[in-house]
Structure 1
Amino acid sequence: MISAILYALFLRLYYSFAQIYAFFNPKGKEWIQGRKRINEDLKSLSKENKPIIWLHASSLGEYEQGLPVAETLKRKFSGHRILWTFYSPSAYTVVKSKDKDDYIAYLPFDFKKNIESFLDIVKPKAVVFIKYDFWHNTIGSIKKRNISLVLAGAAFRENQVFFKGYGVFFRKMLHSFDMIFVQDENSKNLLNKIGVNQVEITGDPRAERVLEIKNKNERNLQIESFKGEKVLLVAGSTWEEDEKLLKSCLPAFIEKFDMKILIAPHEISNKRIASVMQLFKEFKPVLYSEAQKETSNLMIMDKMGLLSRTYKYASFAYVGGGFGKGIHNILEAAVYGIPVFFGPNTDKFIEARELTTMKSAYIVEDKNEFIRLINLQEENDSIKTAILENNANYFLNKSNTSEAVCKYLNKKLAHE
């Protein structure tokens, strides 16, 4: 009872702060205004007499992770429609602009009246949360209506609130899910210890997504021309600390390994790209958008949406973020069976732990270690062959979530 009162107070304070923040920040304003448009976004849904499967993703990363699940659901449940909801304004804006097949809306803020009204309109046959973003009233209302509730692609760590002595209120949400599909054995064991037993290990939906991209085998003639016959290092989603490390290594990479380097910064605003070009000016970098028949050994990617398809040309990959809040998507690179390098902040990333254990990926903290590891790879073809084979098996074993979700929902919905 006390926990419920405190949570209600927390929601009031959270929403009040969001309203104040909206006066000073465009994304904050959209976060508020977008939720006022929910009924408008759902107008056509209420007119169409087709059952709904509701998928929720917190942000764009989780949406990408959940896409294989959504596509499989569409194939298996062709008579149903998909509704995507988002917490993040950036995710909502991007997906709303490009996805014309599915319904797109914001997740209502977690006031009970908002959730009940939303469920009255949508009337979902099933709900699938991707990875996380747990809201107590939302989950509770879905459970009370006996709607099938699934969590897919989840990963848990021992230091999370669910596994603390004071986490009873939060554990209740996990118990409300009819089925939880997790990425690894550790997550399953943690859930079992708190009495959550409706758990199955199916891997990471991102593995399915990157396999799909790889199998399309899309060519980029400009990058093919840039690489030529040389060794190529693709450094993706880089931040300033990553770029400082790369700069210190470039002379050895170019002189010793006759390497070409393509750097794709995480942000590609004009200011950010200008800063990267200035940092590497002694290497005479070329921009991807301007490159013709360049002779430079260094290219800076200044166009969005190409990175995951660029790794196919790489002999080595470096993924940024490891000197900051955490690494970005290393699976995009690893799916091509190449050695992947990144900085030390990997604690929250199961895939980093697994791939480093397999010696398919490597943590680098300084120039000497990075150069040593590249040299080791270049001198031992057997290491590269082992990585290629190990990664193929890794992705095969990690790509079961979509089918598992569909199989489970098929059984549940067949009884309705």
Structure 2
Amino acid sequence: MFLYNIGIKLYYFAVWLYSFFNAKAALWINGRREQQIAQFNNSTWFHFASLGEFEQGRPILEAIRTLHPDKKIVVTFFSPSGYEIRKNTPLADAVYYLPLDTAKNAGQFIDAIKPGMAIFTKYEYWYYYFNELHKRNVPLYIISGIFKPEQVFFKWYGGINRKILTFVTHFFLQDDQSKQLLYNLGLNNATVSGDTRFDRVWTNAQQPKELPLISEFKNGQKVFIAGSTWPEDEKLLATLPALYPNWKFIFAPHEISEEKINSLVNLLPGGTVVKYSQLGVHNSQFTILIIDNIGMLSSLYAYGDIAYIGGGFGVGIHNTLEAAAFGLPVIFGPNYLKFNEARELIALKAGFSIGNEGELKGIADTLITDDAFYSIASKKIRTYVQEHTGATQMIMGHINP
């Protein structure tokens, strides 16, 4: 525990130092410092690392809110990117930053919200919070959990991490490999239920939000959507609009600071680009649109035909399923191996990994010019999402209070 405690303190100190130079780190520090935790009794506590995990766990959150409208729900986030966007969600009675994982903080926080049940999505394993819940006999569930052999839980030095796992009441897992890895540790309290993201994106695709300005921009033409892109992605994608002048292109960058947006604008052909914040009533003359806000992407895909998902030239690709649910074949960079759905979509020939500009142009040209190939890929990817729904129903059958 000594090393764990030192690690937590060092992490906090590093973020504190970084906060003098980085706005996101400042939010991380100040948000925790300034928040006041309200008192609840027998609440349901949901914790999410960030925005992606919130959307992943949202089907369970919505189901509990619907079935038990009088039950208080408390949501916590680790990251500002989740908290700042969802701090006013009507699905929760209170939204907080998760206080740093210390024995004192865990005790005080759980004393305040008095959870009758805690639900963590995918990952985020905190020793003191889990231990405190365990001591108080509060059921703790992991939903859409996934484990890989290279994780610290399965290393010789991961003793404290394995101890954390023993505090979990039940694991709801994405795949059989995760269940086997837990079984190898002597943990049998696991069910392969699938990934609740499929339920979330499928529901979203059945009831897409209307975006009149996007419809006006589209103007009946085919649209290539580049979602959650980073500069490495954008350098490659910037070559496509000139090759396909009959198509329209929408970029939704992962970071939307003025500096990042302007850098993207400078990469693209002049005179053809408009930012979403600058769209007027008549905007169909533009061929490239840059989304300079957060929160639209999952609805944007309803207006697209092909999607590129960013992040594959960095730590890993972002959410492919939001686009897949609308039947958009997806293209992404080479760092996708830790994402089960990406590997499965490649096997179906409905998802495509590229490593350079030539490969991007090759698959884009095939999808744009070969109608039969495109049609098959589109049908396969939509069917794939539909066939993987059902995790929410299985989980709720077990945890419904």
Specify whether residues 105 and 378 from structure 1 end up closer, same or farther in structure 2 by C-alpha distance, changes over 3 A only.
Answer: closer
Cα distance in structure 1, aligned partners of 2:191 and 2:332 = 30
Aligned counterpart, 1:145: 136
Alignment RMSD (CA, Å): 2.4
Deviates more, 1:54-63 or 1:194-203: 194-203
Aligned counterpart, 1:370: 360
Cα distance in structure 2, aligned partners of 1:364 and 1:343 = 5
Cα distance in structure 2, aligned partners of 1:393 and 1:371 = 26
Q: Does 1:262 align with 2:250?
A: yes
Aligned counterpart, 2:374: 384
Q: Does 1:8 align with 2:5?
A: yes
Following superposition, the deviation at residue 56 of structure 1 comes to 0.7
Secondary structure of the residue that 1:152 maps to in structure 2?
Answer: strand
Question: Which residue of 224, 227, 242 maps to 2:218?
Answer: 227
CA deviations 1:261-318 (Å, max 9, x no partner) are 1222222222222222221134632333334244232222223322211111211111
Deviates more, 1:286-295 or 1:173-182: 286-295
Specify whether residues 259 and 191 from structure 1 end up closer, same or farther in structure 2 by C-alpha distance, changes over 3 A only.
Answer: same
Cα distance in structure 1, aligned partners of 2:145 and 2:85 = 23
Cα distance in structure 1, aligned partners of 2:354 and 2:22 = 37
Matches for 1:6-405 after TM superposition, within 5 Å: 6-22=3-19, 25-37=22-34, 40-43=36-39, 45=40, 51-99=42-90, 101-254=92-245, 258-282=246-270, 284-291=272-279, 292-405=282-395
CA deviations 1:331-362 (Å, max 9, x no partner) are 11111112111111113322211211221110
Following superposition, the deviation at residue 149 of structure 1 comes to 0.8
Whichever residue aligns with residue 366 of structure 2, its letter is: L
Cα distance in structure 1, aligned partners of 2:11 and 2:361 = 48
TM-score of the two chains, using structure 2 as the length reference = 0.91
CA deviations 1:207-265 (Å, max 9, x no partner) are 222222212233323322322333211111222221211122333222xxx32212222
Cα distance in structure 1, aligned partners of 2:31 and 2:283 = 46
Following superposition, the deviation at residue 37 of structure 1 comes to 4.7
Cα distance in structure 2, aligned partners of 1:297 and 1:89 = 33
- Radius of gyration: which is bigger? 1
Specify whether residues 32 and 279 from structure 1 end up closer, same or farther in structure 2 by C-alpha distance, changes over 3 A only.
Answer: closer
Whichever residue aligns with residue 263 of structure 2, its letter is: S
Specify whether residues 290 and 153 from structure 1 end up closer, same or farther in structure 2 by C-alpha distance, changes over 3 A only.
Answer: same
Kept in 2: contact 1:42–1:105 (CA 8 A): no
Cα distance in structure 1, aligned partners of 2:178 and 2:37 = 36
Kept in 2: contact 1:152–1:401 (CA 8 A): no
CA deviations 1:27-79 (Å, max 9, x no partner) are 445434443455x3314x3xxxx531111112222122221110011122334
Kept in 1: contact 2:74–2:92 (CA 8 A): no
Kept in 2: contact 1:41–1:104 (CA 8 A): no
Q: Percent identity among equivalent residues?
A: 36
User: Structure 1: which 4+ aligned runs deviate by more than 6 Å?
Assistant: none
Deviates more, 1:104-113 or 1:145-154: 104-113
Following superposition, the deviation at residue 123 of structure 1 comes to 1.8
Kept in 2: contact 1:85–1:106 (CA 8 A): yes
Give structure 2 stretches of 5+ with no counterpart.
Answer: none
Specify whether residues 229 and 148 from structure 1 end up closer, same or farther in structure 2 by C-alpha distance, changes over 3 A only.
Answer: same
Secondary structure of the residue that 1:41 maps to in structure 2?
Answer: coil
CA deviations 1:80-110 (Å, max 9, x no partner) are 2111112223433332244474222222322
CA deviations 1:170-226 (Å, max 9, x no partner) are 112222211111122222222222222222222222222222221223332332232
Whichever residue aligns with residue 107 of structure 2, its letter is: E
Cα distance in structure 2, aligned partners of 1:33 and 1:378 = 48
Whichever residue aligns with residue 56 of structure 1, its letter is: H
Following superposition, the deviation at residue 16 of structure 1 comes to 4.3
Kept in 1: contact 2:88–2:95 (CA 8 A): no
Cα distance in structure 2, aligned partners of 1:132 and 1:371 = 36
Specify whether residues 95 and 306 from structure 1 end up closer, same or farther in structure 2 by C-alpha distance, changes over 3 A only.
Answer: closer
CA deviations 1:368-405 (Å, max 9, x no partner) are 32232233334544433433443333223433332233
TM-score of the two chains, using structure 1 as the length reference = 0.88
Whichever residue aligns with residue 273 of structure 1, its letter is: I
